[in-house]
Structure 1
């Protein structure tokens, strides 16, 4: 007999990245395991994907927001109530890596995303000359940029589907553990506070 309250709350995850990085292709491949011919996203796509975490079902709503320059100024409208960030990088487009790095850094500075987990999807690994996950970690200086949050770089290919499920599973895992960690941190803080008062 299951308790009504035992189901994990649904999580909302943002899927961001520059235009042409493969966000929509990646989302539809993950959801339907099919390759869709996608046009640049003007606005956003929303898909619900069921996942399992510790034998409990969790429904993740993925918001795929357009990455063109004029759309990026609207990204912040989607930050509130987000549980995690999937950031897609086209690892074969050397000319735009600096732009992608800048956008990720700018995004992570927003107060609504403080401490939230990030999974960088190092996309287009099937393209010759694509940077590896390790090279992306170095180029994006992620150890420094993400030092106050859980993060992971997942090599993947939106067209073949390789690595997509692993990246998504990692996000689901981090979203859950972040919530648990927040509760533990709060308890630790309150205990420390009450001990201080007790010593006075």
Structure 2
């Protein structure tokens, strides 16, 4: 019995570590070091049926806010998402949370037309053209997918991608293996 318990515990620990590694790796996909004094932090929305930002969108806003470089001369927070699951846009719900609950007072842009990740990026591009550095924030595998989309839609802008602060060791640890697996399955399914 002890051996079975030990094997189960070891298996769960390995699964958690794999989830951490997969998310860490995804957070470093298609990013580099880009010097500059201006930045845009693009936060991708998640289906929101209610009249308040859901837990996932609140987490993404917090990750976006911690991604802002305090040394940057200019930082722009770009919140993306149309009314995909409810009457209000994901962007407006996230903006309300960022300003009212988190006290954000910086430059804020709402992209409220998009309904997919591809559209998130396509419709955010006009707000990215005049900055030196671009950060895309979401769950790490989702952010990696969005960075791939930016590379397809605008390679010139993709060259300005730097890492956001969406990955933190231990954050959502029990869910990270599921998130990583979901990201892998979506990547395989979305291949041309």
TM-score normalised to structure 1 length:
0.38
Flag the structure with higher strand content.
1
**Greater length-normalized contact order (CA 8 Å, ≥ 6 residues apart):** 2
Flag the structure with higher helix content.
2
Structure number with larger C-alpha Rg? 1
TM-score normalised to structure 2 length:
0.39
